Amino acid sequence: MNKRNIGIIYTVAVFIVLAAFDNIIIGLFPPLFSSISKDLNIPLSALGFVSAANILVTSISSVYWGYLAGKFKRKTLIIVGTIFWAVSVYLTSLSRTYYQLLFFQIFTGIGLGCIASIGFSVLTDYIPQKFRGMLLSLWGMSQGFGGIAGALIASLIATSSNWRKPFEIVSYIGFLLIILYLFVKEPKKGGAEPELKKLINSGYEYNYSIELKQVYKIASKNSNILLFLQGLFMNITTGSLIWLPTLYISKIYQQGYSMKTAIIASGYLYGIFQLGGMTSGFFGYLGDRFQRKSYRGRALLTSFFVFITAPIYAAMFIIPMKNLMLPNDGNAYSIFLALLKQIALNHWMTALFILSLLASAAQSANTPNWLALITDVNLPEHRGTAFSAANLSNSIGRTFGNVGVAFLLGIVSQYTGEPNSYIITLITLQMFLIPSALCYVRMARTNIIDIRNVKTTLRKRANET
């Protein structure tokens, strides 16, 4: 393997790992809501707004980072952004009031915005078109695992010390990442496009950069509009799912276990019940296969799996954790072993595990194919901005989903107690998956035109050069 290929593999690996960190920080919050609420003496629902503010600011700032990625060296930008969020996460751990917590999390979001937009721009210039969905699934999966890792870090470390420690640890890791960036390789713009292969192999470069006046054209493209809307609806639902650890805590606590045991067990369950997301690569591969047959294939395939996600999750929320037997000593290791035994022998927990695998697997089909579609319908210099705008739409959805749980929970709680209040609230927010699936059905028509236009433009520019 030559040095160039090693450099590419290293760079791709670093950006895939990096993609997890915005979700690690988002995932830290839900298991710590109760601890932070008691320590800072603030309502539990107020922390939902802090988490939502972080998500929203991350997305808004990513649009600007994405625009900069189309004009400047992406390696320098990612270093600056990482320093910004690592410092802000550390300052979060020092918060003594609600407003300090909110302030530092807003600044964390400004720095985190660089991760998704610049990472996406770099990867799409390296990943070959025919493997786009499958390899981008690794990038998407790392984000999903980031959320799981955040929940586990919060559950395990906070119970043995305090809620501030997980934020400190994540900030230290952020500073270590800066060292890794020093060795990443800046890709050639458009380097993965077959229409530009001959041009780049001949020693020329694709030198087109985004201009401010092109932003409206990107935002008004039919396929992009549908991708924005699909992401908005999809993420209203997925944004609500960060409250799953809180649902698990409520179910376990009501069976007589201590809050410490409930927090540890909920972190494990949140991770175990997301294992179906590991099938994302398979669904990305399927999308690649369907797309090679027809430009409509990827969108139609994904619409089916998005649609069936809702009823599976609803069933998963409803099933109780009956006859749950856990050690109540707060020992993380013994609780983990007991949970595995319960999943194998307790038919209620077995049913929950199977439904969680099916639901998270069906949900995982969305990410790789959504990423591949937004790559296919946009020119190389436009992808960072297009993705960032779409990611903003996604994050607005996640914000609505996050805040929506807090808002609906307040209403539903007037009529029923826990855990039913959480169950009803989360099921209600699953309904947004229906318009999300319909956007993909409509997108199957617009993709054909927009993908052909991109390929025609690239061939024309290559010939002109």
| Prediction pTM value | 0.73
Q: Which CATH superfamily is domain 12-464 in?
A: MFS general substrate transporter like domains (1.20.1250.20)
What pLDDT does 130 receive? Answer: 67
Q: Are 437 and 303 in contact (CB under 8 A)?
A: yes
Could you report the average pLDDT of every consecutive run of 10 residues in the chain (465 residues)? 66 75 71 77 78 80 79 80 88 88 89 79 72 71 70 63 79 83 72 68 70 80 91 89 84 82 81 81 86 87 94 91 82 84 89 91 89 85 80 81 81 82 88 94 88 84 71
What pLDDT does 267 receive? Answer: 77
Alpha-carbon span 220 to 380, nearest angstrom: 17
Q: Are 131 and 286 in contact (CB under 8 A)?
A: no
Residue among 243, 251, 302, 244 at smallest CA distance from 273: 244
What pLDDT does 362 receive? Answer: 93
What pLDDT does 210 receive? Answer: 73
Structure tokens at 294: 């027809």
Cα 169 to chain centroid, rounded: 21
Integer angstrom CA distances of residue 29 from 24, 93, 152, 156: 9, 12, 11, 13
Long-range contacts of 348-354, Cβ-Cβ distance < 8 Å, separation of 24 or more: 348/319, 348/320, 348/321, 348/322, 348/323, 348/324, 349/321, 349/324, 351/319, 352/273, 352/316, 352/319, 352/321, 353/272, 353/273
Size (the chain), residues: 465
Alpha-carbon span 339 to 317, nearest angstrom: 18
Alpha-carbon span 314 to 307, nearest angstrom: 12
What pLDDT does 129 receive? Answer: 67
Cα 340 to chain centroid, rounded: 26
Taken in order 451, 62, 176, 167, the sign of the CA dihedral is negative
What pLDDT does 437 receive? Answer: 94
Q: Are 462 and 195 in contact (CB under 8 A)?
A: yes
Backbone angles phi, psi at 248, to 5 degrees: -65, -40
First to last CA, the chain: 31
What pLDDT does 315 receive? Answer: 92
What pLDDT does 161 receive? Answer: 55
- Look at the block and give the residue holding tokens 């995982």: 364
